Structure 1
Amino acid sequence: MAIFDWAGKQPWAEPMRRCGQDAQWHAEGDVWTHTGMVYEQVTRLAEYPALSRLEQVILLFVALLHDAGKPATTVLDAETGRTRSPKHSLVGAGMAREILRELGCDLPTREHIVNLVRYHGRPPYLLDSRRDPEQEVIRLSCLLSNRLLYLFALADTRGRHTAEMARAEDPLHLWRDTAVEHGCLAGMYPFANDQARFLFHREELTSLHYTPHEEYRCTVTMMSGLPGAGKDTWLARERKGLSVVSLDAVREELDVSSTDNQGQVIQAAREQCRERLRVHRDFAFNATNLTALMRKRWIDLFADYHARVEIVYVEPPIATILRQNKEREAAVPESVIRRLIDKIEVPTLAEAHALRLVG
């Protein structure tokens, strides 16, 4: 229980102790009590001893952080008199990223835990999904391990006192069985190729059995990361000689500050991208690209020209980013960078043909 004892002393644990829960789902009481019960249930899973130590630690941290967002989201329903915590998993995922970043957790492991926290509540409601159940399981296989998600859902269900039968374990076993049937319990669904996965997540794949041609006209390397993260340095080292469309360079050319209206900058950068796409020329698109929506707007453009898109996300320690930013000719105010940190949505394989996380 060493990890749990450590967690109990952290500043984010106290709000969980003070946060009550709906008695119909959590008769055991506050969020921290439930957290401790889930943590213990993780260690009692029949599969737990056979897991690697890394997998064990991942599950333990998911147990600690899966409901960390409840104190900030719990509200009392005036009509029913019951408490609820809308979007607590989304808030919890952001908290998990910040906590694990401060602990120095490596980038892939951190994001795996973040995604498990974000989607920990999905397995019990597989049949209620707006998507086809099979597609829901396949979609998440690109973000996390369905096996670990299933095992955590078991622990989460067992780590509570409730009279409700709606959260029985049968739906969880259905999630596992669906993942097994489609070959994505322990790993990502075996798409026919990268283009099939790309089209699937864009909801443009007509059938999982269809194998689309991978006749890319060029490759676009989309850089993503905070100002000062080292995107230029990575490109100079790993993509030497590659043509680059840079928002910073466009701003300099147009004499537009980063705090000014960016409409003219975006328009000019899109035209520079089109010029390269029209002649099927490989290039890098270098900007912060910190949110999925921001990236999608550019990826839509690249996809219209049948380009292969690889995303490279660069995130060294925050202290390194702040230091490197100060050394830049056009340094961004530290207050701006700290605000941007809260907006980061780390790219996933659901967005592009390839993904590289650079810590």
Structure 2
Amino acid sequence: MWSWKQIAALVPHPSPHSTCDAVDWAACLEAFPQLELAKTTPQDPIYHAEGDVWTHTQMVVAALLQDSDYALLTNEERETLFLSALLHDVAKCSTTQIGEGGRISQPGHSRRGALDARLMLWEAGAPVAQREAICRLIAVHQVPFFAFADSRRGVSPEFIVRELSWQVDLQLLVQLARADIRGRICPDVGNVLVNIELFKELALEEGCLRTPRSFASAETAVRYFRGAELHPDYALHEEPGSHVIVMCGLPASGKNRWVAQHHGDLPVVSFDDARTELGLRHGENEGAAAHRAVDKAKSLLRAKAPFVWNATHLSRQMRGKSVDLCLAYGAQVELVHMEASRPTLLARNSQRDTTLSNATLLGMLHKWEVPLPTEAHGLQLLVNE
């Protein structure tokens, strides 16, 4: 198992003559064994006439190193961008589909790649903020290709740029997208490069190329990112409501301890407590436990009382249900994400009075989506070792 220090040492320093020869490819494959599968993973020859995923990956990294903007980055930014390029298609091996006429596609490989990269970098002990910067770039690495070409989500290019500026450094995203399109053989490279530059120009106009787009208030931002038709500079009127701290993280990551230390005076809504009150084992009649917890949350929200919602909330979909309920009552929501290393998680879980096995806990890792800043009024990413 490679450490984060060893992985960071793979990143080449900038040079006027940087090429793929500056990369220790054997070490990259040793650090990230999943990349070995890229050597035998095919791609659609129309968009990837260069061949397999590993060939494309090497070409992308080479294009990144030859980008003049690469030398202008800090060491941390170069680490983030290099590893994003190296791992941007890491999940193509597990998402490949062969359709009619032999057409090859890898639907969802960006989102799955972010999950895979998170687990590998978590195991290596990467700093949380930098790990998430890498994973977020992987998750959206192709968005600049299409932001102006079409609107796949039914939203404007302005919305896309504003939202992404809260999730990633758009300058790094632009560089990754340029390297991705230059690192392949396909017929529309020129048009895609134009789209990427338009994306960059819009980010400059919005004042968010290197920083999140400013909003009149956190409330405006939250409602805007949830689809409200309003301008970022418009300050919404806010009625007094609850302040809710929504906990997120794997079991045994230290959520209960953190709540006791920092908000021990607040009421707690907990699915675990609801299971205990109903005499249920972990995974047994989850609907009844959820119903009991939600009823308690609604009672506190109606009273406009502050409280902590303590649950795993591993996926954005599951968090969204809790956050949406709070927002429906006019609450201010802060997400607090807790995590710990694998040895710490397993040791703590083994010592707890719980029906959750270590094997089940580890199985939950494949659903682990760390919260984004666009999901609530505030976000903290914490490590509790």
TM-score relative to the length of structure 2:
0.89
Verify: 1:98 aligned to 2:122, yes or no.
no
Counterpart mapping for 1:72-151 below 5 A: 72-79=94-101, 81-127=102-148, 128-129=150-151, 130-151=154-175
CA distance in 1, matches of 2:359, 2:346: 10
- Evaluate the alpha carbon distance shift between residue 262 and residue 13 of structure 1 in structure 2; reply closer, same or farther with a 3 A threshold: closer
Verify: 1:67 aligned to 2:67, yes or no.
no
What count of residue pairs does the alignment treat as equivalent?
358
- Evaluate the alpha carbon distance shift between residue 18 and residue 270 of structure 1 in structure 2; reply closer, same or farther with a 3 A threshold: same
Verify: 1:189 aligned to 2:213, yes or no.
yes
48-57 vs 2-11, greater mean Cα deviation: 2-11
Amino acid at match of 1:203: G
Deviation at 1:71, TM superposition (A): 1.5
CA distance in 1, matches of 2:103, 2:188: 15
CA distance in 2, matches of 1:107, 1:136: 25
Counterpart mapping for 1:282-297 below 5 A: 282-297=306-321
CA distance in 1, matches of 2:204, 2:285: 50
Q: Which runs of 5+ in 1 are unaligned?
A: none
Counterpart mapping for 1:45-60 below 5 A: 45-60=67-82
The question of whether the paired residues in 2 share the 8 Å contact of 1:4 and 1:64 is answered with no
CA distance in 2, matches of 1:118, 1:51: 21
Structure 2 counterpart of 1:243: 267
The question of whether the paired residues in 2 share the 8 Å contact of 1:196 and 1:205 is answered with no
Q: Which stretches of structure 1, 4 residues or more, deviate above 4 A after TM superposition?
A: none
CA distance in 2, matches of 1:137, 1:6: 35
Structure 1 counterpart of 2:183: 159
Deviation at 1:2, TM superposition (A): 4.8
Deviation at 1:24, TM superposition (A): 2.2
182-191 vs 155-164, greater mean Cα deviation: 155-164
Structure 1 counterpart of 2:287: 263
CA distance in 1, matches of 2:277, 2:380: 30
58-67 vs 166-175, greater mean Cα deviation: 166-175
Deviation at 1:314, TM superposition (A): 0.4
The question of whether the paired residues in 1 share the 8 Å contact of 2:181 and 2:189 is answered with no
Q: Deviations over 1:291-312 (max 9, x none)?
A: 1111111112211211100010
Verify: 1:304 aligned to 2:328, yes or no.
yes
The question of whether the paired residues in 1 share the 8 Å contact of 2:50 and 2:184 is answered with yes
Structure 2 counterpart of 1:275: 299
**3-state SS in 1 of match to 2:373:** coil
Amino acid at match of 2:92: K
The question of whether the paired residues in 1 share the 8 Å contact of 2:48 and 2:186 is answered with yes
Q: Which runs of 5+ in 2 are unaligned?
A: 1-21
TM-score relative to the length of structure 1:
0.95
CA distance in 2, matches of 1:267, 1:50: 53
Structure 1 counterpart of 2:15: none
% identical equivalent positions: 35
Q: Deviations over 1:187-241 (max 9, x none)?
A: 1110111101100111124233321134441200011111111001111122232
Amino acid at match of 1:277: L
Structure 1 counterpart of 2:368: 344
Amino acid at match of 2:165: S
- 2:246 aligned to which of 201, 222, 233: 222
The question of whether the paired residues in 1 share the 8 Å contact of 2:281 and 2:355 is answered with no
269-278 vs 177-186, greater mean Cα deviation: 269-278
CA distance in 2, matches of 1:139, 1:324: 37
- Evaluate the alpha carbon distance shift between residue 28 and residue 249 of structure 1 in structure 2; reply closer, same or farther with a 3 A threshold: same
CA distance in 1, matches of 2:178, 2:291: 50
